[in-house]
Chains A and B, each alone.
Chain A
Amino acid sequence: QSALTQPPSASGSPGQSVTISCTGTSSDVGGVNYVSWYQHHPGKAPKLMIYEVTKRPSGVPDRFSGSKSGNTASLTVSGLQAEDEADYYCSSYAGSNNVVFGGGTKLTVL
């Protein structure tokens, strides 16, 4: 299966909002509500930020939110903070016990 499509980069100033998209197909993102998002600071373990499209694990700030429309899922970070600067990856269940990740988006806080 092909990787999900994410923009390579995104940016925003402190306090602003930024949205990262994740585009797949009807066989993955569009067909299931099993989309998750991860924050990855280089050299550290990735961290789950959103699961099942919109749910936030305990401990994740409510500045992070997820949504989906058709074959595209989105992660929105509101009230950007310096510590939000990281790589972000989406993931979707792709049927037949397959999982697919997006190519990743580097978020820069200006």
Chain B
Amino acid sequence: EVQLVQSGAEVKKPGESVKISCKGSGYNFSGHWIGWVRQRPGRGLEWMGIIFPGDSDTRYSPSFQGQVTISADKSINTAYLQWSSLKASDTAMYFCAYYDSSNWFDPWGQGTLVTVSS
């Protein structure tokens, strides 16, 4: 069974950094894309980007390019999403998901809530 398990909730102050994770199991992690999706409170889903763990080929949404860094460590079947300087507007639930190049995400991780507040 393909499964993605994300790291726990984070509470940070503006300007701080954070790195959240997404660990895959039940499939060849290196050989398939992983995507990241944001959901701000009361808002819809926003595609952030995808990474191919096998060679770390990464594609970013223009809206998130330069704002976040997506990475992966194929040796431990884990993808990451990180910020170097958080803003209050980064407060959101972040989901990772297995991404197929026919443009579907399934399954999804359980989500990681990142709260940025002074």
Which residue numbers of A lie inside 8 Å of B, CB to CB?
1, 3, 32, 34-36, 38, 40, 45-48, 51-52, 57, 87, 89, 91-93, 97-104
Contact = CB atoms under 8 A, between A and B. Distances in A.
A93 B103 contact: yes
Q: How would you classify the secondary structure of chain B's contact residues: helix, strand, loop or mixed?
A: strand
Given A36-B104, A46-B105, A89 B47 contact: no
Interface in B37-64: 37, 44-47, 50, 59, 61-62
Interface of B: 35, 37, 44-47, 50, 59, 61-62, 95, 97, 100, 102-111
A3 B44 contact: yes
A106 B58 CA distance: 32
Contacts of A34: 102-104
